[in-house]
Amino acid sequence: DAGVIQSPRHEVTEMGQEVTLRCKPISGHDYLFWYRQTMMRGLELLIYFNNNVPIDDSGMPEDRFSAKMPNASFSTLKIQPSEPRDSAVYFCASSLAQGAERNYGYTFGSGTRLTVV
């Protein structure tokens, strides 16, 4: 398995532009997570999906952020319009939860480093 695949690896954009980050989870995993990592705030959970349905988006910072999961093999995180304070590394992770059993951990992608100038 190729693991969780994120694209692009790096993105530099101008303030006000739309940015779309992409994620392909591990095949068969039924949970998908979007995280943001900064020096100031550490690792923050933005949103997560179960079977393509958003379960908890309480971590999404504001309406400029949106996430979709149109099918089991693809998810996007969109920022529109982007601002310099959105500069961070964005990670996608996926997980397989075996019914009602406890969480066995996530597999993370390599991240997208976003710089908004």
Partner 1 sequence: AQSVTQLDSHVSVSEGTPVLLRCNYSSSYSPSLFWYVQHPNKGLQLLLKYTSAATLVKGINGFEAEFKKSETSFHLTKPSAHMSDAAEYFCVVSGGTGFQKLVFGTGTRLLVSP
Q: List residues binding partner 1 (CB under 8 A).
A: 31, 33, 42-43, 45, 48, 50, 56, 91, 93, 97, 100, 102-111, 113
25/111 with CB nearer partner 1: 111
Least CB distance to partner 1 at residue 94 (A)? 12
19/109 with CB nearer partner 1: 109
HSE (side-chain half, CA atoms, 13 Å) at 68: 6
4/79 with CB nearer partner 1: 4
Q: What is the SS3 assignment for 94? A: strand
State the residue for tokens 């079977």. Answer: 51
Least CB distance to partner 1 at residue 69 (A)? 16
Length of the chain: 117
User: Is residue 23 a contact partner of residue 6, using CB atoms and an 8 Å limit?
Assistant: yes
Q: Which residues pair with 115 in a beta bridge?
A: 12
